[in-house]
Structure 1
Amino acid sequence: MAKKKAKKKAKRKRNYRKEYDNYHGKPKQRANRSKRNGARRKLGLPVGNPKEADHKTSLKAGGSNNRSNLRAVSRTTNRRKGSRSV
């Protein structure tokens, strides 16, 4: 039986500076990051905690960072839910 050789893709180095300048550093994205960090603080999630702050009604759908609209969930649950309301 012939062995299949795994094809290796050339790994390119990420240019984090370019990513920040083109996306993460934009005012809208900085405001979004600030809102996400504020939600984590309201829930009392320490740095390094694998849980994420989930908005029951997404910010996009008019939700807020009020404690009653937040819950701590796993990363998988939060990504699966997306921007749908609970």
Structure 2
Amino acid sequence: MKTIETIATVTKDGKITAQLPLDIPEGEHQVVIVIDEKPLVEKLESKEKRPSLNFPVHNCGLCPENLSLRREDMYDDWGR
């Protein structure tokens, strides 16, 4: 038994088309289908309508050329 999560297309006449991995042998298979009630297109549209996040920006100027952020330069021999 294998679990496959993929996107399927449903036509007006109720037929479903889905892309499966190539390691599934051809022929008839018993499958279980779980359908989300909202089409994927509606979900994408709702994500686009959400406003972007507005994070604060602090401009501290340029860093000095001799600034070293190496651990050995930031901490003493005791690791503090």
- Determine if the TM-score, normalized by the shorter chain, exceeds 0.5: no
Q: Greater helix percent: which structure?
A: 1
The structure that has the greater radius of gyration is 2
Q: Comparing both chains, which one has the higher relative contact order based on Cα–Cα distances under 8 Å and sequence gaps of 6 or more?
A: 1
Q: TM-score scaled to structure 1, two decimals? A: 0.21
Q: TM-score scaled to structure 2, two decimals? A: 0.21
